[in-house]
Structure 1
Amino acid sequence: MNFQALSTCVVLLFTCIHGNKEHLRRAYDPDSWKNNVSCDVCKIIVGQLATAVEQQAPSKTLIELSNFFCTHFKIEDARVCKAIINQYKDTIFGVLQMTVLSPDDVCAQVINETCGSPFNPNTTWNITLSSVPKPPVMPPAIPKPGLPTIRILQLTDMHLDLEYKYNSSADCHEPLCCRVNDGPPEAGHKGAGYWGDYRHCDLAPRTFYSMMEYLESIKNKFDMIYFTGDIPAHNIWNQTRVDQLARIRVFQSALERYLPDKPVYFAAGNHESSPCNIYAPPFVTGNLSQDWLYGAFAEVWTKWMPMDTIDTILRGGFYSVSPLPGLRIISINSNLGTTDNWWLLVNNTDPAGQLQWLADELQEAENNNEKVHILMHHPTASAGVKPWNLNFFKIVNRYESIIQGHFNGHSHDDFFTVFYDEVNFTRPISTGFVAGSGTTYSNLNPGFRIYTIDGNYTGSSWAILDFDNYVADISELTAKTTPVWVKEYSAKADYNMGSLYPSDWSDLIYRMRDDDSLFQKFDKYRYKLAANGPCKGSCKTSSLCSLKTAQTGHPDLCKDLQ
């Protein structure tokens, strides 16, 4: 066994496959990192690691050599190299011990399906839909003026960095900067801002509490809260389970202190876990299981929800709850469907039975004449295991008449996605609302969103009628000033929309294609008023295409956007 070659493969695996994958500028693609890792490199890495596991290579030697090569070739600095390898080693070796996939198949799932055999939909797994026929699809009826409404605050991707330090280095050459251990800025470089920084820096605590104080001051403007995941910061190389649980409780305490009368409904983010992205399905037991996190979810989340949600939270971090007559909130753990969750290389067949449970819950909601809001951290196109995506889309298509919206986060910028029917991919059937992040990471202003929803009254549609986005511009703030939280825009007014049904969002895509000034307005709002430069040509086409691809893999979805 060539341990030097093997250790280099380990380093490449850790740094290339699980380096900092969050967006750096515009047109954020959560899978863009994969473009930098070739299929051949991936197959060599996986093959070498599988051989090492099979031959029971000494882990101590492997780790020491991996650390040496990581620092020697300046893949990351010494502290990141040492910590990231230690963070993920148990998961990687656990997966490789259990998987029966070949290196080609592993890389096809992790990098791109062209790395292995082409995806064959006839060999995938399928959930079972109810035998109850799909009701005829009726055009939505806009509620009459004056009917009751409720308002929902959406918070997402706070990435609260409790170690943020004013005037520390914001160009630290690590995945996350502006922190206590980063030291002063280099000569000629500006240090981290007092209220935050647009560079690779997460949300400063003082800015987080400024947001919470502002939300407390406008608490009469919303009735309940959807939180769609990601509380901890991006220092994924040195996070422990204890760290993650502490951050969750800091956030919980802030909600209880500033907004004690507002019920909160959560979805699991990819950063809540340690290691980041890794959500072990139920077949993983012992120290590598997810019990430590699901137990914390059950403890925290049920402060605002009934106890009958505990069973599914403990099983897989998902639940269903009906807080108001006629409304059902279903929270999905999308981490059980992403390629970043390496345990799915062992078995990706409906992890924790979640999608079958979702289909059954939606059928029960249909039987009870309920409408549904789906909470999920990842926008659907980012939940990347192909069979999972196909089954989720099949479920959405069947229950389009009762699903009134998908509430997502993860991407940090502010946009939407449109689902189209499974027959010809032309009729809009559902909308994903992707709210902007609380964190500034990267090149964004912090923000939040408040929706106006039809309800609460007998026969209400629970449809999204409008939403307002709020931001605080940190670009000119100093230690002597304070953030000013302002309404950035309203969807109906600023996009000139008659309503916010799927057909209206689909129409907006084509209006932006033909009206560049409208698109540039959307692009400005997408990055929450932070300067990102113009988006023209292929940038615009790619941006518009991303709005049409809530479900991935259809070759004709974006042909008409040129």
Structure 2
Amino acid sequence: MTLLVLLCVFSHVFYLQVSSAPVNNVFQHLQSASKFWHISDLHLDPTYHVTEDHTKVCFSSKGVPALDPGVFGDFLCDSPYQLILSAFSYMKQEDLQPEFIIWTGDSPPHVPKEELSTDVVINVIANMTHTIRQFFPQLPVYPALGNHDYWPQDQLPTSTNAIYDAVAKLWSPWLNPAAVATLQKGGFYSLVIKPGLRLVSLNTNLYYSPNEVTVNMSDPAGQFQWLQETLELSRQNMEKVYVIAHVPIGYLPYAINTTAIRESYNEQLVKIFRNYSDVVQGQFYGHTHRDSIMVLLDHQGKPVNSIFVTPAVTPIRSLLEPYSNNPGLRAYLYHPENYGLLDIWQFYLNLTEANLEKRSEWKLEYIMTEAFDIKDIQPHNLHELALRFEQPKSKAFEKYFNHFMVSYNLTITCDNVCKTLQVCAVHFLDRKTYLQCIASAGRQKD
């Protein structure tokens, strides 16, 4: 059975009974704050089904036997529809009275190229779009394209194409005509979402290292120029800006000297965000499937921007990885007047328990300010937290690394090399300062 045929099965949403750990009175001190949800990396695998032959549970395992498949998924497979429904059911049931949702891409599964096509990718994105809209018919949703939201994957182009056309139509109820026009043209857009608050959705897939379409381009789709002009206009209009995208800036916290996007493009984005740090209130990404933070420092070492990478809904991991992530989703709290970011409420599903009990019980994993004893998630507080991570045997870092995996396995520890990569990635987003951090850590070990 093909992916396209299987998608037809999922044309209607079936609501689930979802258990939840109560959030109620724990958050009374922040009840006046505004909130929004962040979801990312849904990676629906319509082929997922529990069967005795574990090599045939899902196409996304690519023939590798699933580990312990259950109704809500497996750590070697992408998301079954039941997992995605349980996530949205929990969000709806919890009713945090959010102002909007940001959705940072990647709906299709990790399957061989021949299992997908342009039509299948469009159908998967349409399925997820309609599912979200059925759960939250009145709530604005602001999406960003992911590297899997195209066929062939990663090869997002610099001009109009069938997929940009399709998502522009699918997402038009959430956007304005100007945003739809730039989305259709280059896969990016901006719009004012509240008085004095602009959202910028970047297509960072244009800068992604495996994207062969944009090799040697100085400004793919003119997005750098567009971004600078947009931020300059926001500065003149005294707007604050939230930036969303799929592939993050900075260095990967699990690979030495490796940026998620091409290094030259990363340098350009870091420069732009430093120049407009008075305008940008926060940056929100997905892609890595893990939970991490970054703090952008200016040339004097002053913290000027808070950056967040949200964990995935899909639990899939590569065979080469020692760990995965439990499915996660989160809410951000922000000041309703100046749009400053106040806190993160991170929720997760213990996949092993959910499969054993055959019911999903999403829980609060942590509240950022309480977990790390910080006032809010503004840059200076995240900077001070990151300095605590650097300390030997830092309990704060141990907690952070457990959150990085979304409480996947408490017995997994982060050795000295692992910690160096994590800590340097939090604080140093450009090549010069990152390499200095790595070198300094090496000297301390000698």
By the TM > 0.5 criterion, same fold?
yes
Q: Does 1:556 align with 2:425?
A: no
Whole-Å separation in 1 of the counterparts to 2:248 and 2:191: 21
Q: Which of structure 1's runs of 4+ aligned residues deviate more than 6 A?
A: 180-186
Q: Does 1:372 align with 2:238?
A: no
Q: Does 1:444 align with 2:325?
A: yes
> Match for 2:436: what amino acid?
D
Q: Does 1:257 align with 2:127?
A: no
> The residue matched to 1:485 in structure 2 has which SS?
strand
Report the CA distance between 1:193 and its aligned residue.
Answer: 2.2
* Paired position in structure 2 for 1:466: 343
Report the CA distance between 1:387 and its aligned residue.
Answer: 3.0
TM-score under structure 1 length normalisation: 0.67
Question: Does the CA-based 8 Å contact 2:62-2:112 persist in structure 1?
Answer: no
Show structure 2 runs of 5+ residues with no match: 1-28, 251-258, 318-323
Whole-Å separation in 2 of the counterparts to 1:392 and 1:552: 12
- Of 293, 298, 306, which aligns to 1:431? 306
Q: Does 1:517 align with 2:387?
A: no
Using a 3 Å threshold, how does the CA distance of structure 1 residues 502 and 236 change in structure 2: closer, same or farther? farther
Whole-Å separation in 1 of the counterparts to 2:355 and 2:64: 17
Report the CA distance between 1:190 and its aligned residue.
Answer: 5.3
Using a 3 Å threshold, how does the CA distance of structure 1 residues 462 and 298 change in structure 2: closer, same or farther? same
Q: Does 1:545 align with 2:421?
A: no
- Of 386, 405, 414, which aligns to 1:535? 414
Q: How does 1:374-389 map to 2 (within 5 A)?
A: 374-381=243-250, 382-389=259-266
Q: Deviations over 1:274-298 (max 9, x none)?
A: 001001223xxxxxxx511110121
Whole-Å separation in 2 of the counterparts to 1:553 and 1:333: 25
Question: Does the CA-based 8 Å contact 1:409-1:436 persist in structure 2?
Answer: yes
* Paired position in structure 1 for 2:34: 150
Question: Does the CA-based 8 Å contact 2:60-2:78 persist in structure 1?
Answer: no
Q: Does 1:208 align with 2:84?
A: yes
Q: How does 1:240-251 map to 2 (within 5 A)?
A: 240-251=117-128
Q: How does 1:393-404 map to 2 (within 5 A)?
A: 393-404=270-281
Q: Does 1:494 align with 2:395?
A: no
Using a 3 Å threshold, how does the CA distance of structure 1 residues 180 and 539 change in structure 2: closer, same or farther? closer
Report the CA distance between 1:386 and its aligned residue.
Answer: 3.1
Using a 3 Å threshold, how does the CA distance of structure 1 residues 245 and 499 change in structure 2: closer, same or farther? same
Q: How does 1:8-19 map to 2 (within 5 A)?
A: none
Question: Does the CA-based 8 Å contact 1:236-1:276 persist in structure 2?
Answer: no
Identity of aligned residues (%): 26
- Of 219, 228, 234, which aligns to 2:104? 228
Using a 3 Å threshold, how does the CA distance of structure 1 residues 495 and 479 change in structure 2: closer, same or farther? closer
Whole-Å separation in 1 of the counterparts to 2:47 and 2:32: 44
Whole-Å separation in 2 of the counterparts to 1:440 and 1:146: 31
* Paired position in structure 2 for 1:335: 205
Question: Does the CA-based 8 Å contact 1:155-1:227 persist in structure 2?
Answer: yes
Report the CA distance between 1:516 and its aligned residue.
Answer: 2.1
> The residue matched to 2:173 in structure 1 has which SS?
coil
Which has the larger Rg? 1
Question: Does the CA-based 8 Å contact 2:286-2:309 persist in structure 1?
Answer: yes
Whole-Å separation in 1 of the counterparts to 2:31 and 2:421: 39
Whole-Å separation in 1 of the counterparts to 2:192 and 2:60: 45
Q: How does 1:275-290 map to 2 (within 5 A)?
A: 275-282=152-159
Whole-Å separation in 2 of the counterparts to 1:416 and 1:479: 32
* Paired position in structure 2 for 1:293: 163
Whole-Å separation in 2 of the counterparts to 1:182 and 1:319: 34
> Match for 1:513: what amino acid?
E
Using a 3 Å threshold, how does the CA distance of structure 1 residues 280 and 489 change in structure 2: closer, same or farther? same
> Match for 1:529: what amino acid?
S
Whole-Å separation in 1 of the counterparts to 2:85 and 2:368: 27
Cα root mean square deviation, aligned: 2.3
- How many residue pairs were aligned? 396
